[in-house]
Amino acid sequence: MAIRIIVKEPDAVLHKIAKEVKEITPNVKKLLNDMAETMYDAEGVGLAAPQVGILKRLIVVDVGDDHGLIKLVNPVILAKDGEQFGPEGCLSIPGINGDVRRAEQVTVKGLDENGKEVTITGTGLLSRCFQHEIDHLDGVLFTDIAEKVYEYVPERPGKE
């Protein structure tokens, strides 16, 4: 596994539509593993292949819940329900957050890294993350759909 360089806005690759993966090869599996390692290294909760400069429909997600690390090939959203509104950030747009309206719950279908079809329903943060990463596959960034965009200032422990 290897840590990849995360592509930053305004790189054109972030605004293009990723191509469907026709076959899960050893290279695709390696890319998914590299993406997971890159996401963890950057302390993110999701990463899409275009964010490492590769226009393939691949995402990795780990929001720290019971699902653990999820690797999906050619993910699609089958159903959406409810609504949530809140802040989002992106590893490709450091220092910026935005308030984004998303579905509270989504059901996503795709292939796992072994080519088995999987369907996962997520709520809350997992739902938001699925929607955010799948948007990346269609060249859509959270800043394109945010109702408000603002600079992110991390909290500093010990500073009152």
Q: Please give the angle made by the CA atoms of 30, 36 and 40, to the nearest 5 degrees.
A: 145
Quick check: bond before 157 cis, omega within 30?
no
Task: Please state whether beta strands 117-123 and 58-61 pair in parallel, antiparallel, or not at all (unpaired).
Answer: unpaired
Token pair, residue 144, equals 């394109």
Task: For residue range 86-107, list pLDDT tens digits in order.
Answer: 999 999 999 999 999 999 999 9
Q: What is the dihedral of CA 137, 143, 145, 151, to 10 degrees?
A: 140
Cα(68)–Cα(74) distance, integer angstroms: 19
Residue 152: predicted pLDDT: 82
Task: For residue range 119-129, list pLDDT tens digits in order.
Answer: 999 999 999 99
Q: pTM higher than 0.85, yes or no?
A: yes
Query: 139-160 burial string, b = 16+ CB within 10 Å, else e?
Result: bbbbbeebeeeeeeeeeeeeee
pLDDT surpassing 90 at residue 36: yes
User: What pLDDT band is residue 57 in, cutting at 50, 70 and 90?
Assistant: very high
Token pair, residue 139, equals 């060249």
pLDDT surpassing 80 at residue 22: yes
Domains and CATH numbers, the chain: 12-151 (3.90.45.10)
Per the annotation, binding residues are 90, 132, 136
Cα(104)–Cα(71) distance, integer angstroms: 21
Which residues carry out catalysis? 133
pLDDT surpassing 70 at residue 12: yes
Cβ atoms of residues 62 and 36 within 8 Å? yes
pLDDT surpassing 60 at residue 160: no
Cβ atoms of residues 87 and 98 within 8 Å? yes
Per the annotation, binding residues for Fe cation are 90, 132, 136
